[in-house]
A and B are shown apart, each in its own frame.
Chain A
Amino acid sequence: MVYWLLFITFLKIGFIGFGGGMAIVSLIERDVLRYGWATEQEFVDMVALSQVTPGPIGINCATYVGYTAGGVWGSLLASAGIVLPSLIIMGIICYVYDHIRDRWQQNPIFVWVMRAIRLIVVLLIAHASYILMTPASFPDTSSWVVFAVVLALCLPDIFVPAKQGTHLKKTTQALSHPIYLILAAGACGLIDYLWHNR
């Protein structure tokens, strides 16, 4: 039954999803493709919409996938499923945190566990981007040009030192803003379409 499957799948993703939105999107991608809730191409569209709509990307993505697979109830169950583990785990952490406070940061085992988790998270996201480079999403050279331009706009911000308020940082931050980049790409697509259908 699709409702149960949706709820359980997103519950699982909520429990094992370290690293926030994009890392969780990579986990959602795997199950969406496995259960055939959407094709790779449809999933990229969902990710795009999740990024340009308000709210946490993971919730947006869960709601969208849930709606596609199981309508209104599907979207509610998927969102509930992804939030529930947070409530349990973060609830426990908040409770424990009051007792141990600052000691955590110095514990070497904790530091190494966190490093390992971060490495896994980065590899997961890299894998997700690789899977999304399908011929359907990259039909011709122009797609790779768009890809290269967007990446080129994002990279400076990553390597400019994060001193808030300098002119250079402000510029690179503005240029690499995901919403503007997605909206600009969409606007180019619309212009392209109108130009070819004059």
Chain B
Amino acid sequence: MKNRQLFSLFLTYLKIGTFTIGGGYAMLALVQREVVDKNGWLDEKEFLNMMALAQAAPGLIAVNSAIFIGHRLAGWRGVAACVMGAVLPSVLIVMGIAMFLVQYKSLPAVEAVFRWVRPAVVALIVATVVKLAKHIW
């Protein structure tokens, strides 16, 4: 694969990493649109196999899927391009928020927001437990 295609692979994953909120499963929806529907890099069956492997292996599903697709399309350089694209936006955005939030954390308005958000987050985790328990077998 030529450098230009490698760069477009990187850009595709950069887009996926920047615009999907909600983690691995949410990202997979966009990965499917970009990789299967738009670019035709994998067919549907291969995409499903990729998902199974990405979930079976330890580590983050989004990163694992990036590794699979990068490897399939362009070998180890493809892996580097996809993983960098998937991870960079996260690291930069979260670092920015962490720097910013340290200064404002003690504001009562921010505290009031988190007072409501905390139980909501715990409820979302409980919902995940119920959802996944259905698929153990």
Contact = CB atoms under 8 A, between A and B. Distances in A.
Interface size class on chain B is 35 or more
A54 B93 CA distance: 8
B1 interface: no
A151 B68 CA distance: 34
A173 to B, nearest CB: 11
Contacts of B135: 118
A121 interface: yes
A55 to B, nearest CB: 3
A189 B90 contact: no
A122 B125 CA distance: 11
Contact of B25 (A20, A125, A144): A20
Contact of A16 (B58, B125, B129): B58
A144 B112 CA distance: 15
Contacts of B126: 126, 129, 151
B47 to A, nearest CB: 14
29 contacts: A18-B56, A18-B58, A20-B23, A21-B24, A21-B61, A53-B93, A54-B93, A56-B90, A57-B22, A57-B23, A60-B94, A63-B94, A67-B98, A85-B58, A86-B63, A89-B57, A90-B59, A90-B64, A94-B68, A119-B136, A125-B129, A137-B119, A137-B122, A138-B122, A146-B120, A150-B119, A158-B131, A181-B120, A182-B117
Interface of A: 14-22, 24, 41, 44-45, 47-60, 63-64, 67-68, 72, 75-76, 79, 82-83, 85-87, 89-91, 93-95, 97, 105, 114-115, 117-119, 121-122, 125-126, 128-129, 132-133, 137-139, 143-144, 146-151, 154-155, 158, 176-179, 181-182, 185-186, 188-190, 192-193, 197
